[in-house]
Structure 1
Amino acid sequence: MLPLTILYQDDDLVAVHKPAGLLVHRSQLARGEREFLLQRLRNQLNRRVYPVHRLDRPTSGVMVFGFSSEVAARLSASFSERQVEKRYLAVVRGVAPEQERLDYPLREEDGTRPKAQMPAMPAMTDIRRLDSVELPVQVDRYPVARYSLVEARPLTGRRHQIRRHLSRRGYPIIGDAKHGKSIHNRFFAERFAAPRLLLAATWLAFDHPQQAKRVQLSCALDDTMTALFEHLGWAGHLPLDSVRTPPCSEGRSSISPV
């Protein structure tokens, strides 16, 4: 088993690249699973780590852990208070809007109660089309197939928010078994060897909980998405692993913080 890619580490926290398909920690919904990101990271570093936020199991990308429960709690509060910038890359069906804010309310999906009993909560995601492609093949009912590369910036933190918002808008993420369309999912699995959710957390920026600096992390895509981008002519949009740590007063995006 290959070691996890460490994107950033200091005395207080560590950031890693979470592989697609790996659960972050044990849950009641996956009792039979034996492998978890939390335990792999503890074993690799030979020390305890504490989760700060979450990524869906099929989503890859940057995740942060604290080395103490106090640091993790401070970072979690930053996420809850929308002081953290998050960016994702997604491959979607169709030609997505050039830029748009999606603000469909979403019911929380915690698996403990029927959805009808759960109130719809405000949710916002900013999306931007970075590129698109038209393939001369009939996948569904049209003679050609169109797909887009979308950058998504969630401004709230509802469960499966990006996946549900894009699906609701009519541009489901390829590989999404729950909110997508199976015929397009199969096409990407068979034609491009991409049989997974094509969603990756590629950027995270937050104020360090112990130091007067802002940590900005960029995370490269995994081999599956990298090969796909190169095949579709999107190699110019491939992110790289990188770290910047400007003072807290610098480096903030003009986009509303998440």
Structure 2
Amino acid sequence: MRQVAEPDAPWALPVLHEDAVLAVVDKPAGLMAHASPMARGESDFALDRLRRQFGRDVVLAHRLDRATSGCLLVGFDRAVAAELGRAFMSRTVDKTYLAVCRGWPEARFTVDHPLDGGPGKPEKKPALTRFVRLATAELPVPSGGFETSRFALLACMPETGRWRQIRRHLKHAMHHLVGDSSHGDGRRNRIARMELGVHRMLLHAWTLGFVHPSSGERVEVVAPPDAEWMRLFARLGWAPPLPPQVTAFTGGA
């Protein structure tokens, strides 16, 4: 295994898996994955850090929003990254995200709701996300005509990869993602800031499972919830969730 060029550098990203052709790293919230038209005035990108960190070419196999933390898969050349990208497109990559939403949804629910591709891409395409409720909490703070404010911890399994899919599907289900300034509930976000100290979007790419393009073996990677998530779990009385077997969440959801 190659050694990280500067393993103790403060800018280096935690490596969750590395081999000769690919790696999975843990992207922090707030860091853009790569330069784009959305990156006005930005100069710090995960892709640039990783090229310096690994001392070689690095190509993203998929994308994570700036505000989303967790598993980011990269290839060490364009051919490998393209093959991994095709695996995402063909839905052979298993992804589980952690999210905190407003309200208490059903124990298991599915949102099957078409989504457009974002700005400049008005065509709507099929989009499906499965959700499993892992924990609930209630704060004695009035909100939206209710005497309390309810929150739930979710495992989210998107079966398609549309633009901001989980965020928009939770909005569609009226269980808005906490901390989401674009598609969330402003009142609930304010309560989360004031009562829970939440100053970020609560979406984390928790697990990633895929077939290795060279060996054909299954690779399963987990990005542990970071310190901010752990403080939130403690504040709400939630035990940190154990990494799931994805198949345990998909049946009957």
Moved more, 88-97 or 178-187: 178-187
* 1:22 alignment partner in structure 2: 31
Classify 1:252/1:59 alpha carbon distance in 2 versus 1 (closer, same or farther; 3 Å).
closer
Q: In 1, are the aligned partners of 2:11 and 2:49 still within 8 Å (CA)? A: no
Measure, in 2, the Cα distance between the counterparts of 1:17 and 1:235. 21
Could you tell me how far 1:141 is from its partner in structure 2? 2.3
Letter in 2 for 1:222: D
Could you tell me how far 1:108 is from its partner in structure 2? 1.3
Could you tell me how far 1:106 is from its partner in structure 2? 0.9
**Residue 164 (1) aligns with residue 158 (2):** no
Measure, in 2, the Cα distance between the counterparts of 1:135 and 1:220. 26
Measure, in 2, the Cα distance between the counterparts of 1:2 and 1:223. 17
* 2:5 alignment partner in structure 1: none
Provide the identity percentage. 40
Measure, in 2, the Cα distance between the counterparts of 1:92 and 1:86. 18
Measure, in 2, the Cα distance between the counterparts of 1:85 and 1:174. 24
SS at 1:237's partner residue? coil
**Residue 57 (1) aligns with residue 51 (2):** no
Measure, in 1, the Cα distance between the counterparts of 2:234 and 2:11. 24
Measure, in 1, the Cα distance between the counterparts of 2:130 and 2:93. 14
1:1-258 matches, cutoff 5 A: 1-109=10-118, 111-112=119-120, 118-237=122-241, 239=243, 253=247, 255=250
Measure, in 1, the Cα distance between the counterparts of 2:79 and 2:235. 45
Measure, in 1, the Cα distance between the counterparts of 2:246 and 2:65. 26
Could you tell me how far 1:253 is from its partner in structure 2? 3.1
Measure, in 2, the Cα distance between the counterparts of 1:45 and 1:108. 32
Measure, in 1, the Cα distance between the counterparts of 2:192 and 2:12. 28
Classify 1:230/1:2 alpha carbon distance in 2 versus 1 (closer, same or farther; 3 Å).
farther
Measure, in 1, the Cα distance between the counterparts of 2:170 and 2:98. 12
Could you tell me how far 1:40 is from its partner in structure 2? 0.8
Classify 1:105/1:204 alpha carbon distance in 2 versus 1 (closer, same or farther; 3 Å).
same
Measure, in 2, the Cα distance between the counterparts of 1:175 and 1:36. 22
Letter in 1 for 2:170: L
Measure, in 2, the Cα distance between the counterparts of 1:204 and 1:19. 16
Could you tell me how far 1:164 is from its partner in structure 2? 0.3
Measure, in 1, the Cα distance between the counterparts of 2:236 and 2:23. 33
The TM-score, its normalising length taken from structure 1, stands at 0.89
Measure, in 2, the Cα distance between the counterparts of 1:81 and 1:158. 13
Q: In 1, are the aligned partners of 2:230 and 2:240 still within 8 Å (CA)? A: no
**Unaligned residue ranges in structure 1 (runs of 5+):** 241-250
Could you tell me how far 1:181 is from its partner in structure 2? 1.2
SS at 1:20's partner residue? coil
